[in-house]
Amino acid sequence: GNSVTQMEGPVTLSEEAFLTINCTYTATGYPSLFWYVQYPGEGLQLLLKATKADDKGSNKGFEATYRKETTSFHLEKGSVQVSDSAVYFCALLSPNTGNQFYFGTGTSLTVIP
Amino acid sequence: NAGVTQTPKFQVLKTGQSMTLQCAQDMNHNSMYWYRQDPGMGLRLIYYSASEGTTDKGEVPNGYNVSRLNKREFSLRLESAAPSQTSVYFCASSVGQGPTYEQYFGPGTRLTVT
């Protein structure tokens, strides 16, 4: 079956620290991988995506590389800001299951000044 | 630009009551979705509508019904609410299905069933 496992939070970092949020997946076929971000009181927004192995998605200083050999899609940012405080969700989209999204449990990030 | 709107924002129901959650999008998207978000479980797909006139079950459809009223609107109905349906419900829409098409989410409805 399809599933996503991401590191549990909450994560608290100081401003300008390096961020890594781990994400691994199990999927049938060749899924696409996504990171979504949820700011307080809002719905989810797409942060970045990668549709095939070795692709790197990037947006707003965040990056993630689709690693098929380790079934991973870890999110990284070199220097976080207070405005990055949010909940981050890793997700996969599998064409083998009607293009349904499967989400991880979410990782809460708080960045302190 | 409103995007995806949901009503109500909050709702408290007693066990056995019924209600309909409303969702509308103004982006001319073909596909619409209903998710629930529970602590420690991420988002799970309840139902989706790939295009106007079609609906399909997702991962957790039991206890829910949906109606794709027209291209803009996709409602979720709880016929007899249960405490296990306490959750935050998100509606989403996309131009089409597949990895090329980003899903846009509404702000959510927080439902409590007592």
Q: pLDDT tens digit string along B6-54?
A: 999 999 999 999 999 999 999 999 999 999 999 877 889 999 999 999 9
Which residues in B lie closer than 8 A to residue A43 (C-beta atoms)?
Answer: 4, 90, 92, 104-108
pLDDT value, residue A100? 78
Q: What is the pLDDT of residues A27-82, one digit of tens each?
A: 988 899 999 999 988 889 999 999 999 999 999 999 999 999 999 999 999 999 99
Binding-site residues on chain A for chain B (CB distance < 8 A): 4, 32, 41-46, 49, 51, 89, 91, 93, 95, 98-106
Highest mean pLDDT among A4-13, B14-23, B92-101, B102-111: B14-23
Is the per-residue pLDDT at B1 higher than 70?
no
User: Which candidate in B95, B105, B109, B110 is best for mutational testing of the A interface (most A CBs within 10 A)?
Assistant: B105
Which residues in B lie closer than 8 A to residue A91 (C-beta atoms)?
Answer: 43
pLDDT value, residue B34? 97
Q: pLDDT band at residue B102, thresholds of 50, 70 and 90? A: confident
Name the residue in chain A with its Cα closest to that of B58.
A100
Percent of chain A with pLDDT over 90: 77
Q: Could you tell me if B42 and A89 are in contact, meaning their C-beta atoms sit under 8 angstroms apart?
A: yes
pLDDT, averaged across chain B? 93
pLDDT value, residue B39? 83
Q: pLDDT band at residue A98, thresholds of 50, 70 and 90? A: low
Measure in Å the smallest separation between the Cα of B41 and chain A Cα atoms: 5
Rounded CA gap, A65 and A113, in Å? Answer: 28
pLDDT value, residue A42? 84
Buried b (16+ CB within 10 A) or exposed e, B50-74: beeeebeebbbbeebebebeebbbb
Which residues in B lie closer than 8 A to residue A51 (C-beta atoms)?
Answer: 99-100
Which of A43, A93, A103 minimises the CB distance to B106?
A43
Long-range contacts of B56-60 (CB under 8 A, 24+ apart): B56/A98, B58/A100, B58/B33, B58/B34, B59/A100, B59/A102, B60/B36
Given an 8 Å threshold on Cβ–Cβ distance, is A89 in contact with B44? no
Is the per-residue pLDDT at B58 higher than 80?
yes
Rounded CA gap, A13 and A78, in Å? Answer: 12
